[in-house]
Amino acid sequence: MALKTPEQYEESLRKMNFKIYLMGERVENPVDHPIIRPSMNSVKMTYALAQNPQHEDLMTATSHLTGKKINRFCHIHRNTEDLIKKVKMQRLMGQKTGACFQRCVGMDAINAVDSVAFEMDKKLGTKYHERFIKFLLMMQEEDLTVDGAMTDPKGDRSLSPGKQADPDLYTRVVDKRKDGIVVRGAKAHQTGALNSHWILVMPTMTMTKEDSDYALSFVAPADAEGILYIYGRQSCDTRKLEGGEIDVGNKQFGGHEALMVFDNLFVPWENVFMCGEYEYSGALVERFAGYHRQSYGGCKVGVGDVLIGAAALAADYNGAAKASHIKDKLIEMMHLNETLYACGIACSAEGHQTSSGNYLIDLLLANVCKQNVTRLPYEIARLAEDIAGGLMVTMASEQDLRHPEIGKIVEKYFKGVASVPTEHRCRVLRLIENITLGTAAVGYRTESMHGAGSPQAQRIMISRQGNLDHKKKLAKEIAGIKD
Ligand code: SF4
Ligand code: FE
């Protein structure tokens, strides 16, 4: 089975045995938990769209290992067309869910590990790539969702991993045995961890010789003994416990992040792809981050499409659609959103082949893409709020709208254009609230800032990749300066 149906995916999650805590309680059934379920629905959509002939070209690919049709989220990019299709797929997924659909972190992780493990084996004579390919075959064959895990908690930012008061603040190997390794530490902000079958752990940053215990990459079943999750809260998340459908803004879909804790997790050697080779930690981080910075040129654009559509609807329902300043604001939103898309496409089109045969994006352009994502969605959100009006945050609840007596008053005074039911106006304003301030704002706003690395991380990469010396040389030639 190289493609799971959405139902098979959901069933496979039910068989998992996660150790999860959410708001102080152990969650026994995450699949049906009202706070978690919408995030599962988003990942499920990656399986559903892959079955749809209309989206087959974007959602599926041909495995370079088996020649079989696989989900693109399990694919190793073979050319620039694959890189471009990846971004288009992410835009489509953002449009269909209006949320973070989580499965990209695993796709970006396998593509980063593929080339780095290959280079390690070539230089060091290790067997990491061989092991990785075995895992990849299983991932493709079983159509698995894999959670790429990079970000360590990091404690005191002024201290290196080994100098922390608590050495577990960075994920490390604490014991090397004949049959495998023992890992302690944690990964923070783990997108979609509880909707994943496996986790692929990578080092959080470039490590030095003294911190080689922290240069670590491996896979483990997401519900392995020795992994515990603490579910991250989101703004307005308890609205999902109310059972309604308007006030949540997006009833069906969402995303999630969790703290993933390794409490002496045992990993057999066959699942280890880096253990101490600190010289390769930087390349792995740089490539994973590069792929994920490319990803944002797709997913945020798709959610942006939903937000722009919602703002335009709000204007229609308010009777303001013909006002020239509203039209201009919608044009500006589209211009900003397409600018992000252009960055995602550009870094893909300028990609190149690595020594393992897979394709890597242009790192400079991928970092420019993400740097823009730290800014433009904020402006798009600001314009959406401008167009929506204050009612977006002062509107009465769904219970009041449905109330047998005061419902009529809500209906009467929250009415915009006479031909549009008040409920439609409520729904679209709540959707804008959800994306800009509610649960989806994690993905659309703060994640735009910090996901795939905070803005400064991209500026460092831009300074490294920007080739300033070449630009100086160009200026000297034109200006006739001879040293
Ligand atoms: Fe995918 Fe975007 Fe979510 Fe990252 S933030 S997992 S790229 S949807
Ligand atoms: Fe992300």
Best substitution site from 191, 250, 340 to test ligand 1's pocket, by max atoms within 8 Å of Cβ? 191
Tell me the mean pLDDT in the region 369-373: 98
Tell me the mean pLDDT in the region 357-385: 98
Q: Which residue minimizes the CA distance to atom 8 of ligand 1?
A: 100
Question: Euclidean distance between the first and final Cα of the chain, in Å?
Answer: 65
CA 433 / ligand 1 centre spacing (Å)? 20
- With a pLDDT cut of 70, the percent of the chain lying above it is 100
Q: What is the pLDDT of residue 107?
A: 98
Q: What is the pLDDT of residue 25?
A: 98
Q: What is the pLDDT of residue 342?
A: 98
Mean pLDDT of the chain: 98
Residue 483 has pLDDT above 90, yes or no: no
Domain limits, the chain: 283-468
Neighbours of 77 (CB within 10 A): 28
Is 9 known to be catalytic?
no
Which pLDDT tens digit goes with each residue over 206-263?
Answer: 999 999 999 999 999 999 999 999 999 999 999 999 999 999 999 999 999 999 999 9
Q: What is the pLDDT of residue 100?
A: 98
Is 317 known to be catalytic?
no
What span, in angstroms and rounded, lies between the C-alpha atoms of 150 and 148? Answer: 7
Q: Which residue minimizes the CA distance to atom 7 of ligand 1?
A: 295
Which pLDDT tens digit goes with each residue over 19-62?
Answer: 999 999 999 999 999 999 999 999 999 999 999 999 999 999 99
Tell me the mean pLDDT in the region 134-147: 98
Residue 265 has pLDDT above 80, yes or no: yes
Q: Which fold has domain 283-468?
A: Butyryl-CoA Dehydrogenase, subunit A; domain 3 (1.20.140)
CA 303 / ligand 2 centre spacing (Å)? 13
Q: What is the pLDDT of residue 1?
A: 72
Is 236 known to be catalytic?
no
Catalytic residue selected from 296, 317, 359, 444: 296
Q: Is 307 in the pocket of ligand 1 (CB under 6 A)?
A: no
Q: Which residue minimizes the CA distance to atom 6 of ligand 1?
A: 102
Ligand number, closest to the Cα atom of 89: 1
Which pLDDT tens digit goes with each residue over 73-90?
Answer: 999 999 999 999 999 999
CA 447 / ligand 2 centre spacing (Å)? 6
CA 48 / ligand 1 centre spacing (Å)? 18
Which pLDDT tens digit goes with each residue over 431-478?
Answer: 999 999 999 999 999 999 999 999 999 999 999 999 999 999 999 999
pLDDT category at 92 given cuts 50, 70, 90 is: very high
Catalytic residue selected from 9, 47, 60, 104: 104
Which pLDDT tens digit goes with each residue over 145-199?
Answer: 999 999 999 999 999 999 999 999 999 999 999 999 999 999 999 999 999 999 9
Residue 130 has pLDDT above 90, yes or no: yes
Is 292 known to be catalytic?
yes
Ligand number, closest to the Cα atom of 294: 1
pTM of the model: 0.98
